[in-house]
Amino acid sequence: MRAIAGVVFWTAVMTGAAVAAGTGGVTYENRVQGILADYCLSCHGSDAPTMEAFKKDQEGFKKAGKGPRMDTYSHLMVMVTGSDTGALMRRLDDGKAAQDGKPGNMYAYLGKTAGERSENLRVIKEWVGGWTLKRKKDISQEELKAIKAAER
Ligand code: HEC
């Protein structure tokens, strides 16, 4: 009896762990937030403009070295599946998914070495799931659904 109860309990624990980890296991909270804190928030932190404010004075903020804030999950998601769908992917792609083969202009910030940049991109790609550079007006419902980008 005790052995069976033990097995049932253990199965429940393992199933719970698998569900909590999601598909690839990468979440905003366990990996992505840390990468952004290390390499992006100096220019995209809480003192940076919201996307709405940024769009109103893009040139001014660019001169000031500030991009739209991405210091919370919801601010970040504006550039993943929100009003600026795909912006995060377009700016971070290493050129492999781009038609012109050029990396996005924020890829250079993704790490101190080429190895670190490609590893951080791998983590962010795993987090996003369906990696696409498409804009909101061009993206299909299926492509949108393939973007996972779990918070936790
Ligand atoms: C030294 C400052 C700086 C750092 C560090 C930086 N960015 Fe930026 N970022 C900017 C500025 C300024 C803009 C706006 C100008 C432009 O569009 O290139 C911008 C624009 C962007 C945009 C486009 C926003 C939009 O929708 O128009 C994304 C996405 C982005 N950055 C992501 C990142 C990520 C991710 C990192 C970290 C790997 C990062 N940036 C690091 C300064 C920075």
Note whether residue 141 is domain-resident: yes
The answer to whether the CB of 112 is under 6 A from ligand 1 is no
Rounded distance, CA 52 to CA 70, Å?
Answer: 13
- Tell me what pLDDT residue 16 has: 46
* Å from CA of 22 to ligand 1 middle: 28
- Tell me what pLDDT residue 6 has: 53
Blockwise average pLDDT, block size 10, the chain, 152 residues: 54 48 78 98 98 98 98 98 98 94 97 98 98 97 98 97
The answer to whether the CB of 65 is under 6 A from ligand 1 is yes
Specify burial of residue 112 (Cβ count, 10 A radius: 0-12, 13-18, 19+).
Answer: exposed
The answer to whether the CB of 42 is under 6 A from ligand 1 is yes
Which residue owns the Cα nearest ligand 1 atom 13? Answer: 67
Alpha-carbon distances, residue 64 vs 23, 39, 49, 51, 110 (angstroms) = 39, 18, 11, 15, 20
CB of 26 within 8 A of CB of 123? yes
pLDDT tens-digit readout, 21-60? 445 599 999 999 999 999 999 999 999 999 999 999 999 9
Note whether residue 12 is domain-resident: no
Note whether residue 74 is domain-resident: yes
CB of 123 within 8 A of CB of 84? no
Note whether residue 40 is domain-resident: yes
- Tell me what pLDDT residue 18 has: 47
The residue to mutate among 47, 59, 91, 123, having the most atoms of ligand 1 within 8 angstroms of its beta carbon, is: 91
CB of 79 within 8 A of CB of 68? yes
- Tell me what pLDDT residue 7 has: 53
* Å from CA of 35 to ligand 1 middle: 14
- Tell me what pLDDT residue 115 has: 98
Specify burial of residue 92 (Cβ count, 10 A radius: 0-12, 13-18, 19+).
Answer: buried
45 lies in which domain range? 24-145
Note whether residue 17 is domain-resident: no
Ligand 1 atom closest to the CA of 51, numbered from 1: 26
Q: Decide: helix, strand or coil at residue 147.
A: strand
What is the rounded radius of gyration, in angstroms, for the C-alpha atoms of the chain? 18
- Tell me what pLDDT residue 15 has: 46
Provide the whole-model pTM. 0.87
Q: Total domain count for the chain?
A: 1
- Tell me what pLDDT residue 4 has: 55
* Å from CA of 32 to ligand 1 middle: 15
Place of tokens 């804190």: 37
Note whether residue 14 is domain-resident: no
